Amino acid sequence: MLMIEKPGLQTSVQDLGRPGFQQFGVVAGGAMDTYAHRVANLLVGNSETCASIEAALAGPTIRFEADSLIALAGGDLSPGIDGKPVPMWRPIAVKAGAVLTFGQPVSGWRVYIAVAGGIDVPEVMGSRSTYTKARIGGLEGRCLEKGDTLQTGKPSILAKHWAEKALSKAGDRKFCAADWSVSDELVPRYGNEAEIRMMKGPQHHWFDGESRSLFFNGTFTVSSESDRMGYRLKGETLRLSEPRELLSEGVVAGAVQVPSGGSPILLMADRQTTGGYPKIGQAATVDLPLVAQMKPGAKLRFREVSVEEAQQLLMQQKKELAELKLAIELKMKGV
């Protein structure tokens, strides 16, 4: 069991979301940075679909009521246990009574805390993800609060044995981190600027030539009004070549809508199910986790790629995650 001593900022239970219900008006939701969420789960022997804790900017304070195996991935928010720094992107066995805290953000915006066995909250439409606007999923459909307790599921046998072995070597320390981690090649680099691979949207041809050029050659700034629903971008005004109306149609994560004011909105995890604004672009799925780690004020540039290239990039990432899962299992077995 985990006790939330301080909630942090926008701390919630998330998994990979609840796809398949958009036709009923239910948003997909889920982790903003699906890559960090997946890797954190793999590091503690979980399925990628297990629920983790997502926190933005200011992390929570969590007391572990039992010996546990955890992993932290995503943004570096200066994590520590009982006042001692703990590493990111590797398994960490913690003793009962250990307290996980966070400090100043070093890089990135969102951190994911995975616990062996996953966060065990009731499923709603096949998902444990929190969607606060509809008050569904997670813990009572809301962000975590001081005094909340979270149960965890049953850890895998391999994770349980590795944690027990690690803690036997911890001595008086409250935790023991693995002496290995995810390779540098697989750890994203978060900064104040990023290039996002982008396909043309279904209404790309509706925009005038200057706007189409500015979209792929200009720089956009992440607005402070950005949230889990979408990132509002500031930059050059994008205009249609002529006044046109669009009937509402289904939208997906990464779609870049352009309202009448001309400032684009890049849709994220908690996006609406349908939209009636023209879509000038569609971000490659593989780059959405990087967008999720961009702070307000960060700069985004878009590089055009084909649908085929975007698909290949996603397939390559899936292959890397499968190889990472196998490597983690071998490490835990001591191979």
Residue 234 tokens read as 């500031």
The average confidence (pLDDT) of the chain is 96
Please give the share of the chain, as a percent, with pLDDT higher than 90.
95
* CA distances in angstroms from 170 to 1, 37, 66, 82, 130, listed in the order given: 21, 27, 15, 14, 35
Query: Which residue in 269, 238, 264 sits closest to 252, CA to CA?
Result: 269
Tens of pLDDT along 26-35? Answer: 999 999 999 9
Tens of pLDDT along 106-164? Answer: 999 999 999 999 999 999 999 999 999 999 999 999 999 999 999 999 999 999 999 99
In the chain, which ranges are continuous DSSP H helix? Answer: 34-43, 157-168, 209-217, 288-292, 307-333
Residue 244 tokens read as 């046109």
CB contact at 8 A, 121 and 128? yes
Tens of pLDDT along 182-222? Answer: 999 999 999 999 999 999 999 999 999 999 999 999 999 99
pLDDT at 60 over 90: yes
Residue 335: per-residue pLDDT: 56
Tens of pLDDT along 8-26? Answer: 999 999 999 999 999 999 9
Please state, as a whole number, how many other Cβ atoms lie within 10 Å of the Cβ of residue 216: 15
Query: Which residue in 229, 227, 220, 214 sits closest to 297, CA to CA?
Result: 220
Bridge partners for 94 per DSSP? 68, 175
Tens of pLDDT along 290-307? Answer: 999 999 999 999 999 999
Distance (Å, rounded) from C-alpha 332 to C-alpha 335?
8
| Dihedral pair phi/psi, residue 71, rounded to 5° | -150, 145
Residue 293: per-residue pLDDT: 97
Per-residue pLDDT band at 245 (split at 50, 70, 90)? confident
Mean pLDDT of 42-50: 97
Distance (Å, rounded) from C-alpha 294 to C-alpha 221?
10
Tokens 């803690």 belong to residue: 167
Mean pLDDT of 325-332: 95
Residues 6+ apart with CB under 8 A from 129: 13, 14, 15, 16, 17, 18, 29, 30, 31, 51, 137, 138
Distance (Å, rounded) from C-alpha 256 to C-alpha 89?
31
Tokens 């997909």 belong to residue: 28
pLDDT at 264 over 80: yes
CB contact at 8 A, 221 and 299? yes
Query: Which residue in 266, 268, 215 sits closest to 237, CA to CA?
Result: 215
CB contact at 8 A, 140 and 127? no
pLDDT at 87 over 70: yes
Is residue 254 exposed (0-12), middle (13-18) or buried (19+ Cβ within 10 Å)?
buried
- CA-CA-CA-CA torsion sign (225, 26, 19, 274): negative
